[in-house]
Structure 1
Amino acid sequence: MSHVIDPVDAGDSPRTDVEPFGGPGGYDDLVMCDALTLSGLIKSREVSCVDVMTAYLDHIERHNGSVNAIVALRGRDELLAEARERDHQLADGHYLGWMHGFPHAVKDLSAAKGLPFTSGSPIFADRIADADDLFVARIKAAGAIVIGKTNTPEFGLGSQTYNPVWGTTATPYDTSRTAGGSSGGAAAALALRMVPVADGSDYMGSLRNPPAFNNVVGFRPSWGRIPEAGFIAQGAVVGPMGRSVADVAQLLSTMAGPDAGAPLGIGEDPEVFTRNLERDFRGTRIAWVGDWDGYLATEPGVLELCESSFDAFRNIGCHVEAALPDYKPEDIWQLFLRWRWWAQLGLVDLYDAPQTREQMKPEFVWEMEHGIALSALDVTKAAAARNDWQAALTKMFETYDYILAPSAQVFPFDKSTHWPTEIAGRPMDTYHRWMETVAPWTMTSLPVAAMPVGFDGRGLSMGIQIIGRHGADRAVLQLAHAYEQKTKWTQRVLPPALLSN
């Protein structure tokens, strides 16, 4: 069971006398720093980049084996040499940015030059990236040293991180259970303090479900906030994760910003995310959609934990009430299915070739076969339905400032289970139906913060989604920050491994 440092009631002020670093687990003080504190220590040269890299590599060696979060880890000598170079740069007055000397692991659905880029698939088991994805290049430009990758499900399909290349990733709060996905490796690495911050990606909750299962913070930005190539606002986005909202906002400022190759990108200066997040929320109206009046199957205890967060929101001046958009949730699900099938067709060549098709997991084959069967009329109708759903939400935001929803419908389950086939006795008819709580917000490309709400009697964590208007990413982060100051779950409850060495 996880260790509760200070079991205060939601809405009370957590203790401030808890030691911020170090502890009985024998871990190095540096790995317990939040990212912004660590950044300040490096910039002021109170600690060296070599010290930081050594602390993190020792910590990874001690703990990664229990969760299998970081994969394709580079050699220690090579990484320490890069850390020494960062120290030399500082000595010469060449400070790269707030991530100067940070160890960083890139999710294995994204490309980091010179590192494996497997997407968790045996088809690409030997692929090495020949260039950085844009956001990875930006993270490097801010001074980070890429140490390896974080594990993900095969092609990111499903919120259970397992694949035949790297194996299965567990949550450090119960290593017999899944870390979620597809950013499961990133979330577990954050929870165990093996990286200061992390990148992830999200189509169907991959920046929301893993934070719920690992007691960390995730943020799905508005579509276009972090540049995406092309002229179609698909469901997938990349985004930041961390152990505090301030850290997440700072990483977003690095990943975000316009780019000439992203014609639909948001042009706002990402510097806005480096500003103070404090704000007065008195009079703010929040809608709670819950299980959509019984439509969504939820494991017992999920809704109760999520609803326990309401006191914290009310204590900062918000009014929370149950309310639903004027749109049938089953119609949103059908829209989501068709849009996602269409999105997967970018990899249809792998399906068409028998030698690669036989290496695909069944869920990928299922997505492909449904996608191939779509007609142009099906896609046209799905686009019209998406517009209607957007209109319904726009109407709802005339009354409410934010929407709350559970981040997941189940608690972390056995990591040997591919996916839950039923919830509370209700059968799940697809491999991802048990994740439906995240789908509505994907289809409107709204910004969503994934925040912890606490633990059940087994020590398993859960989270809540804070959803805002399109483009209101900073406003969502501000509410998440205010909520965090009243709860501080990530700081209050540490994984058992950090207290039992």
Structure 2
Amino acid sequence: MQDLWRRSARAMVAALARGELRPSEAVDAALDRIAQVEPKVNAVPTLCRERAMAHAERLERLTPEQRGPLAGLPVLVKDLVDVAGVRTTYGSPIWRDHVPETSDYLVERIEAAGGIVLGKTNTPEFGAGAVTFNEVFGVTSNPWDTGRTCGGSSGGAAVALATGEAWLATGSDLGGSLRTPASFCGIVGFRPSPGRVPAGPQRDPFQTLSVEGPMARDVRDLALFLDVMAGHDPRDPLSWPSELDQHRRAVAEARLPARLAFSADLGGITPVDEEVVSVCQAAVERLRAAGVAVTLAQPDLAPASDTFTVLRAALYATNSGPLLRDHRDQLKPEVVWNIEQGMALDADRIGQAQRARGELQRRAAAFLAEHELLLTPTAIVPPFAHGIRYLAELNGHRFPSYIDWVAIAYAVTLTACPAISIPCGFTRAGLPVGLQLVGRPRDEAGLLRHAAAIEDTLGLAGAVPIDPKPPAS
């Protein structure tokens, strides 16, 4: 029982479904591990023990077959997502004591599938920025070196998975918020196509930049969770039906792609650290040696930075404009800047950006019709030290805003293609490096089928969970 945290989500679900393990025992095991790890990483600042145990006891009154596909497995939920009766702050002092009365659609789906919400994972304020810190709960540390950042905004989720505090966790991704922390922490983060996972309630249910998605320790665990999360919800106008177990069936048929493209910097839209490039290139060479045809190429995504800057700002103005009016003094500077950028836009500028995004999507779709996957580094640098709010400069290039150091991720966001980050190697300092795999439009199953085979080829799926490591001297 002491080593349950080391098991895969699949193994845990199988034991729960067979009746070898009770949901309450799984909850206890997770709580014990969280108590051991939290003082070192600060990934799960909010727990809901009584709520979780009450849910476990309800599930134990059912037969294993009646409990749903997660069978009583505890999961963690990002602190941007409402859970009824559980403190939900969005990382903001404005909502420091907020306790919602109802849950988001995603939480309803997870609990209906037999998942037990155990707590909330840390995130930057309103998910803004790719470094996880806020004024409510403080800084979350990278378990590979606790003196470094875990990335963001789903940083708490990534750390919890990497340290064995959870078997599955939810994340969200606008400009790389699932993918960047997955890279920094050596786990797997999946950005699905808009509409694959129902989200809400939202102020703008028709927006397609931000999505909810699964995070896990390996691709096969992630496929299990995506099958739970995906599907139609009539309250989300973009959602659509999902076939039963289609993602688990896909990874069960794992195969390498016949042909893929690799780009170290997406055609020069961003600088990339030389060691990151080297680690990713070595992983790609292993795929080439395994028989995959590799082309060094990428679609033309040059307008991505200007386009994303405008559309992200417009989304901030839509969702957070009232906050600027009523709580300006409690918002962090980056959020204030983003809202003001959005409120200063006119219809012509937004229209230009929407048209540019349409062209980027068409270019990506045409490119992926010729290549089964596009591979890039997930993050342009290894995890950096605490105290840096965002990466301001790399290789002599100064980034124009706090979000532009994740352009290699947000350029993919604009295409609406599904994307996953999987571990592909380590730096000389022992820090994880992620490889971003971009799939064809709406082809989550195909992407996961290839990702599972690439994961097998690279052989890093067993690298986590780990005990947190102190800062390197």
> TM-score with structure 1 length normalisation?
0.89
Answering whether residue 189 of structure 2 is matched by residue 215 of structure 1, we say: no
* 2:43 matched residue in structure 1: 69
Q: Do the aligned partners of residues 295 and 377 (structure 1) sit closer, same or farther apart at CA in structure 2, a change above 3 Å counting?
A: closer
C-alpha distance in 2, partners of 1:395/1:486?
A: 28
Is the deviation greater in 476-485 or in 385-394?
385-394
* 1:175 matched residue in structure 2: 146
C-alpha distance in 1, partners of 2:146/2:155?
A: 13
Answering whether residue 27 of structure 2 is matched by residue 56 of structure 1, we say: no
Q: Residues 208-229 of structure 1, C-alpha deviation per residue, up to 9 Å, x if partnerless? A: 0011011001110011101246
Q: Do the aligned partners of residues 94 and 358 (structure 1) sit closer, same or farther apart at CA in structure 2, a change above 3 Å counting?
A: same
* CA-CA distance at 1:348 after TM superposition: 0.2
* CA-CA distance at 1:104 after TM superposition: 1.6
C-alpha distance in 2, partners of 1:322/1:184?
A: 31
2:217/2:461 contact within 8 Å kept: yes
1:43/1:95 contact within 8 Å kept: no
3-state DSSP of counterpart to 1:491: coil
Q: Residues 36-60 of structure 1, C-alpha deviation per residue, up to 9 Å, x if partnerless? A: 1100111111122232222111111
3-state DSSP of counterpart to 1:264: coil
1:108/1:117 contact within 8 Å kept: yes
Amino acid at match of 2:434: G
1:157/1:364 contact within 8 Å kept: yes
1:159/1:182 contact within 8 Å kept: yes
* 2:313 matched residue in structure 1: 341
Answering whether residue 53 of structure 2 is matched by residue 87 of structure 1, we say: no
2:42/2:140 contact within 8 Å kept: yes
3-state DSSP of counterpart to 1:218: strand
1:217/1:452 contact within 8 Å kept: yes
C-alpha distance in 2, partners of 1:298/1:274?
A: 34
C-alpha distance in 1, partners of 2:355/2:410?
A: 17
* CA-CA distance at 1:64 after TM superposition: 1.3
* CA-CA distance at 1:281 after TM superposition: 4.6
Q: Residues 4-47 of structure 1, C-alpha deviation per residue, up to 9 Å, x if partnerless? A: xxxxxxxxxxxxxxxxxxxxxxx922111100110011111112
1:277/1:481 contact within 8 Å kept: yes
C-alpha distance in 2, partners of 1:498/1:409?
A: 23
3-state DSSP of counterpart to 2:462: helix
* CA-CA distance at 1:127 after TM superposition: 0.9
3-state DSSP of counterpart to 1:465: strand
1:407/1:437 contact within 8 Å kept: yes
Tell me which of 56, 73, 82 is aligned to 1:102.
73
Amino acid at match of 1:317: G
Q: Residues 213-269 of structure 1, C-alpha deviation per residue, up to 9 Å, x if partnerless? A: 110011100111012466634200000010111111111111110111222223332
Answering whether residue 289 of structure 2 is matched by residue 289 of structure 1, we say: no
Unaligned runs of 5+ in 1: 1-26
C-alpha distance in 2, partners of 1:306/1:448?
A: 16
Q: Residues 163-196 of structure 1, C-alpha deviation per residue, up to 9 Å, x if partnerless? A: 0011111111101111110000000000001111
Q: Do the aligned partners of residues 426 and 317 (structure 1) sit closer, same or farther apart at CA in structure 2, a change above 3 Å counting?
A: same
C-alpha distance in 1, partners of 2:257/2:451?
A: 16
Amino acid at match of 1:86: L
* CA-CA distance at 1:317 after TM superposition: 3.2
* 1:298 matched residue in structure 2: 272
Amino acid at match of 2:403: H
3-state DSSP of counterpart to 1:262: coil
* CA-CA distance at 1:148 after TM superposition: 1.2
* CA-CA distance at 1:86 after TM superposition: 2.8
1:258/1:268 contact within 8 Å kept: yes
3-state DSSP of counterpart to 2:166: coil
C-alpha distance in 2, partners of 1:296/1:318?
A: 26
RMSD between aligned alpha carbons? 2.0
1:245/1:480 contact within 8 Å kept: yes
Q: Residues 91-147 of structure 1, C-alpha deviation per residue, up to 9 Å, x if partnerless? A: xx6631122222222100111111111110001111111111111111111112212
C-alpha distance in 2, partners of 1:70/1:282?
A: 36
C-alpha distance in 2, partners of 1:283/1:73?
A: 41
Is the deviation greater in 419-428 or in 398-407?
419-428
Q: Do the aligned partners of residues 398 and 176 (structure 1) sit closer, same or farther apart at CA in structure 2, a change above 3 Å counting?
A: same
Answering whether residue 231 of structure 2 is matched by residue 257 of structure 1, we say: yes
* 2:349 matched residue in structure 1: 378
3-state DSSP of counterpart to 1:398: helix
* 2:300 matched residue in structure 1: 326
* 1:269 matched residue in structure 2: 243
Unaligned runs of 5+ in 2: none
C-alpha distance in 1, partners of 2:430/2:153?
A: 22
* 1:161 matched residue in structure 2: 132
C-alpha distance in 2, partners of 1:270/1:116?
A: 33
Tell me which of 135, 141, 160 is aligned to 2:112.
141
Question: Percent identity of the aligned residues?
Answer: 35
3-state DSSP of counterpart to 2:453: helix
* 1:310 matched residue in structure 2: 284
Q: Do the aligned partners of residues 69 and 156 (structure 1) sit closer, same or farther apart at CA in structure 2, a change above 3 Å counting?
A: same
3-state DSSP of counterpart to 2:369: coil
Q: Do the aligned partners of residues 80 and 279 (structure 1) sit closer, same or farther apart at CA in structure 2, a change above 3 Å counting?
A: closer
1:157/1:182 contact within 8 Å kept: yes
Answering whether residue 145 of structure 2 is matched by residue 192 of structure 1, we say: no
3-state DSSP of counterpart to 1:89: coil
Answering whether residue 13 of structure 2 is matched by residue 39 of structure 1, we say: yes
Amino acid at match of 1:323: A
1:192/1:498 contact within 8 Å kept: no
Q: Do the aligned partners of residues 83 and 326 (structure 1) sit closer, same or farther apart at CA in structure 2, a change above 3 Å counting?
A: closer
Q: What is the number of equivalent residue pairs in this alignment? A: 466
Amino acid at match of 2:144: Y
C-alpha distance in 2, partners of 1:218/1:208?
A: 5
Is the deviation greater in 269-278 or in 33-42?
269-278
